[in-house]
Amino acid sequence: MIVVLGETAAAREMNNRLSAMRAKTVRVDVRESLVYVWRETGEFSEKIPFTMFFNWLADQACSAVVEASHPSCSQSFQPLRSWCKDLGVPYIRLERPETKIPASPLVYAVADWEEALSALKRLAEDKDFSRQSPFTVFVTTGSHQLESLVNAPFARDVRWVVRVLPEGRLVQKCQDLGIPPKDIVAMQGPFSKELNRILLKAYGAHVLLTRDSGPAGGTDTKISAALALGLDIVLLKRLRPEADPTVPTAHSVNEVISWLHKVTNIPFSSF
């Protein structure tokens, strides 16, 4: 069993490629004290308490782990890296190239959520927006930090339009946080520049809040669509995880597949 870590476009692509090649695989995402599991078909399978995760991996006869999460989540997988090292389970990180950010006064590149909230607050208070009602922020950063957005002191003056994966639990989370159904866009990307432009315009966005998930995650098309509409963009920059010399890094799905062929007993015909 090959385990793919992450809820990114790269993780889904990795899982789909392995599944198409008839390799036994699961995709998992670690969130706080729970591990969410998706099978080869891409369908949600189960939730596992993190305290039971390593026993579950052993029961699944884990043969290799591919970390394809967003770089900001990498540190949370350190216990898993240690477990793999102790048991001799091959572990590799898939790291996609960063997006080339256009030089524009409309792009506010920030390092963390605190800076992102500060930038949004400044934009919400900007006199150019004071006559616009409501001030609309189109959010494409996923569901992990929605609480910090809707609970921000300036949030009462903001309409949050949130784009999340089309999964019931994510839609329910948005609703539980007070985001009405009309402001929830449940779609799976990446999307073309034109579709991003249509969505941003249709929802009357003033600001795009996004993160650098690389070209594979559609960051380039989101930014170009927003700039074409003259929107401000708050961009969470990619934070590279601290280098671990014991963990090999690949920069494409094909590189990972070649590595898996070398380090596992899975026949090449399976790929």
Instruction: Please give the Cα distance from 78 to 91 (Å, whole number).
Output: 11
Q: Which two tokens stand for residue 193?
A: 């520049």
Strand positions, DSSP E, the chain: 2-5, 25-31, 34-38, 44-49, 64-67, 91-94, 107-110, 135-139, 158-164, 184-186, 207-211, 232-236, 249-250
> What is the three-class DSSP state of 33?
coil
Does this model's pTM top 0.85? My answer is no
Q: Which of the pair, 37 or 185, is modelled with greater confidence?
A: 185
End-to-end CA separation in angstroms for the chain:
13
The amino acid that residue 194 corresponds to is E
Instruction: Please give the Cα distance from 199 to 100 (Å, whole number).
Output: 23
Instruction: Please give the Cα distance from 199 to 239 (Å, whole number).
Output: 28
What distance lies between CA 169 and its chain's CA centroid?
16
Domains defined for the chain, CATH in brackets: 2-97+240-270 (3.40.50), 107-236 (3.40.50.620)
Distance (Å) of CA 4 to CA 60, 77, 168, 242? 13, 12, 22, 20
The answer, yes or no, to whether residue 155 has pLDDT greater than 80, is yes
**pLDDT for residue 243:** 57
Annotate 180-215 with three-state secondary structure.
CHHHEEECCCCCCHHHHHHHHHHCCCCEEEEECCCH
Neighbours of 132 (CB within 10 A): 11
**pLDDT for residue 43:** 72
| Cα torsion 177, 121, 188, 241: sign | negative
Predicted confidence (pLDDT) per residue in 110-145, tens digit: 988 899 999 999 998 875 555 556 899 999 998 878
Residue 53: pLDDT band with limits 50, 70, 90: confident
Predicted confidence (pLDDT) per residue in 189-225, tens digit: 779 999 999 999 999 999 999 988 777 678 899 999 9
